[in-house]
Every structure is written in C-alpha cells, then in structure tokens.
C-alpha cells in the first residue's frame, strides 16, 4: 500500500528543509536505510535515509525547493499502484497550508481594502500597467501574487489591491517601490479629477517622489532564519551585560611556539583558549550554567563551542568534555570539526548544546567586540587580535606588551557581575601564566 514519505526534522531546531539532490528517481526500488536525497537543514547538509520500503512512485518536491517538517516529499508503494487519490489529498493539504500561511490558523481571509482607491478607468496609470503575473504553480504567496512582505504590508495599509500593481522585482515580484509608484499614480488621478482649482499655485515645487536605492533581493536560507530567530530570542530574553579586560599574551605565544617546535601540524591558538577557558570554568561553575526558568542547570562538564564563519551564517562546533582533554587532543578535534563545518557536514550532536562559547575575530583584524550569548550557555567570550601596545609600568616606565582584548557577555539571570568578573580575572591569569594550566 502506498505511503507518504514525510520531511523529517534532521536537527533539533529544523522547521523547514530544502531538497538539494534526489539520490533516487521515480521507479527505483527503495529499502529501509537507503539514502533518498540530500537535505539542507537550518545548520548543515544531511543525507535523508528512508524508513519506507517499496517503489518510489512519485517525487513531490523538486530539487532546490524547501518544505516544512511533516509535509510529504515523495510517495512509495507497489509498482503500478494507483496513487491518484493520494496525489489529490496531498494537493488539498498544500492548498490548506497555503491558506493558513496567508491568514493564520483559524482565521478567515481578510477582505482587500480598496475603499480609498479611485475607480480604475482607461488611461489611468494603474490601468495602463499590466497586472502582476500570478505565482507559478507550487509557489505559496497570499492571493496568488508574488510580493515582498514590505510591499504587501504597505499596500494593505494604503488600501491598494496588490493584484493591480505591476511588479518590477525578480520574476515580476512586487516590491516596495512598485506600491509607492501605484500610490503616486492614484494621486495623479485624484488631482486630475479635482479640477484646475485643486492644482498647486504656479511656481510651487512638486511634492518629492520617493526614491529607493536599487537593490537585489537575496533569499534567506534556512540557516540564516534560525540564526536570526535564536539570536534575537537570546538578545531579548537574556539580560546581557559585558565585561572587558586586556590580557598580556606574550607567555601564551611563547608556550605555543615551544609546543609547536618539531610538529608538522601546528597547534592553533584557539585550542589553547579552549583549554584555558575550560580550566577557568572549573573554578566558576556559575558561568558553566544555563537558565531553565524555575531552575538553573549546573553543567557537570565543559562542552565548549567555537564560532566558525560560513558563507551563509555560522556554526559552533563543540569540543566535548574539555576538562579531561589536553591541548593537542582539543586541537585535533577542533581541526576535524571545523573542516566538517566548512563543508556543511556536521551532525546535530556536533554543534548543539555548548555550555560555553568562544568567538575569535582576532584573525580578521578586529580589536574588540561584543558577542550574543549562544543558548543554552549563559556566557560567550569575544576575543580580539593580539597586538603590541605601549604600557606604563612601574616607575612610570613605558614598555611594549603584546595584548589582546577579552569581552565576556553574561546572562544576568544566571551570572552576577562579581562572578563574571572573577571568572574573567581567573581566565586572564590562566592566559598570562599558562604553564600552570598546562601541567
């Protein structure tokens, strides 16, 4: 009997997935565990393994198309089986979901507000502009027209029927400037109908025409949507505060140089920072914690994430149990995880659940910055570049030190200011005298 193959949640935060490539084609036999397709989640590209068995009768989602978790992407059954009824059911479900996306659950579609618009007559600017083409089949756009959310909202507030607006965006998409042009057209019609007495006096300047800087609309990837949602939630639910200090890194750089002598594969500075941060976390369990509403979770190991930049966002691959790993082991694990992150092949368990996070932009020439806390952790360390700085020492003598700036972002629900300051001071001591932590 035919069965629907549903889009599964391949990561804890996945809400939609994009089918990048089908590994099976219609008519192929499918066994449980076979890779059906490659799916781009909110964080990585993953293989979708089938839990169905039979013949792949129909592919419902083309390559490059995204769909919600729980929606059908294919149909598997017996060769020659009639699936026309199931296809109608899938189509009806898609229409229902599109209507719900447009109106919200349990609401009727709102009436288009056209009371403020003048009648459209031959020769009017709106009538002379051809209506926007309907969206292609399978695309979901309220009212069947392609329009940006900004354009749709502006049209709604000004009483413009967006179906009468000519789109100048990609593939005929209606954008803000098109709605503004329609408003100007309506104003022209109204001014003309009002007669000569309504015209501005001679010499009076015409009202300014809204000007919009040319731009290209770039689709928001699933990863970028999740980054936006999670970091907005973090910023506006966790009361952030920031602590900053300078740290002398000459001893740390000497220790790294000594460790790397004779090594073919040099240990990174990030590996040192992860190990030293873990040591400081051991002494300050409040920093290695998470807000749970009615309780605070005190983590029993240090799972430290390192922010890694990607073309369409960032990931934080995590080195687990850093208290029980040396710098060389941490470095080897970091190199493996960063390589997978850059190829979008990290598994969910490799990038979710960091108890503490480090973001190092020193290699980009950034002196200092603040970072947004990466849930479920309650703190993130922002690391700036190391640079030689004149420092006034004992006897008012000026000397040159190699320094970098550390900025700790803390969730005040979990970490009080004094505790955050003690942790940062402890980390400073670890970095300035690393031999104690490395023994």
Positions marked active-site: 412
Return the residue matching tokens 């390559």: 63
The CA distance from 82 to 85, in Å, is 8
Contact criterion met (CB below 8 Å) for 22 and 63: yes
Q: Work out whether strand 54-59 and strand 35-40 pair parallel, antiparallel, or are unpaired.
A: unpaired
Quick one: CA dihedral 354, 357, 363, 365, positive or negative?
Answer: positive
Query: Which value, in Å, is the radius of gyration of the alpha carbons in the chain?
Result: 29
The three-class DSSP label of residue 362 is: helix
Q: Residue 20: in which H helix or E strand, if any?
A: strand 16-22
DSSP string, 34-56: -EEEEEE-SS-EEEEE----EEE
The CA distance from 56 to 370, in Å, is 51
CA-wise closest residue to 61 among 6, 135, 9: 6
The CA distance from 96 to 427, in Å, is 55
DSSP string, 156-201: HHHT--GGGSPP-SGGG-B-HHHHHHHHHHHHHHHHHHH-GGGSPP
The CA distance from 302 to 281, in Å, is 7
CA-wise closest residue to 422 among 286, 320, 313: 286
Provide the token pair at 133. 């083409």
Running DSSP on this structure, what letter comes out for residue 241?
Answer: E
Provide the token pair at 396. 């008012």
Length of the chain: 439
Strand-pairing partners, residue 382, are 359, 407
What's the per-residue H, E or C state across 294-319? Answer: CCEEECCCCCEEECEEECCEEECCEE
Strand-pairing partners, residue 315, are 308
Q: How many CB atoms lie within 10 A of CB 209?
A: 8
């Amino acid at each position: 009997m035919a069965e629907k193959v549903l889009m599964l949640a391949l990561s804890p935060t996945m809400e939609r997935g994009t089918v990048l490539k089908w590994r099976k084609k219609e008519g192929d036999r499918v066994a449980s565990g076979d890779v059906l397709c490659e799916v781009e989640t909110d964080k990585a590209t993953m293989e979708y393994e089938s839990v169905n068995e039979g013949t792949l009768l129909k592919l419902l989602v083309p390559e490059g198309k995204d769909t919600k978790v729980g929606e059908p992407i294919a149909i598997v059954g017996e060769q020659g089986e009639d699936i026309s009824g199931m296809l109608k059911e899938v189509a009806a479900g898609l229409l229902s979901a599109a209507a719900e996306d447009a109106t919200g659950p349990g609401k009727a579609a709102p009436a288009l507000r056209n009371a403020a618009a003048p009648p459209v007559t031959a020769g009017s600017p709106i009538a002379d502009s051809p209506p926007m083409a309907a969206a292609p089949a399978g695309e979901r756009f309220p009212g069947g027209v392609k329009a940006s959310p900004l354009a749709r909202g502006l049209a709604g507030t000004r009483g413009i029927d967006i179906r009468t607006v000519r789109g100048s965006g990609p593939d005929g998409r209606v954008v803000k400037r098109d709605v503004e042009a329609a408003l100007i057209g309506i104003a022209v019609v109204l001014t003309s109908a009002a007669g000569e007495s309504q015209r501005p006096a001679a010499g009076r300047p015409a009202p300014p025409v809204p000007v919009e800087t040319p731009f290209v609309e770039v689709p928001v990837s699933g990863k970028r949507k999740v980054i936006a949602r999670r970091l907005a939630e973090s910023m506006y639910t966790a009361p952030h505060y920031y602590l900053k200090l300078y740290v002398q890194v000459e001893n740390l750089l000497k220790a790294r140089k000594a460790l790397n002598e004779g090594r073919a594969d040099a240990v990174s500075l990030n590996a040192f920072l992860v190990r030293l941060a873990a040591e400081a976390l051991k002494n300050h369990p409040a920093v290695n914690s998470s807000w749970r509403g009615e309780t605070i979770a005190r983590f029993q190991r240090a799972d430290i994430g390192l922010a890694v930049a990607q073309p369409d966002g960032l990931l934080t691959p995590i080195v687990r149990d850093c208290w029980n790993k040396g710098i060389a082991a941490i470095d080897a694990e970091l190199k493996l995880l960063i390589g997978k992150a850059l190829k979008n092949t990290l598994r969910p368990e490799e990038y979710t659940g960091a108890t503490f996070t480090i973001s190092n932009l020193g290699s980009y020439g950034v002196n200092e910055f603040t970072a947004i806390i990466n849930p479920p952790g309650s703190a993130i360390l922002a690391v700036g570049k190391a640079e030689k700085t004149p420092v006034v020492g004992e006897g008012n003598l000026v000397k040159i030190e190699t320094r970098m700036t550390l900025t700790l972002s803390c969730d005040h629900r979990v970490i009080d200011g004094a505790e955050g300051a003690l942790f940062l001071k402890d980390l400073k001591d670890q970095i300035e005298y690393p031999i104690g932590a490395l023994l």
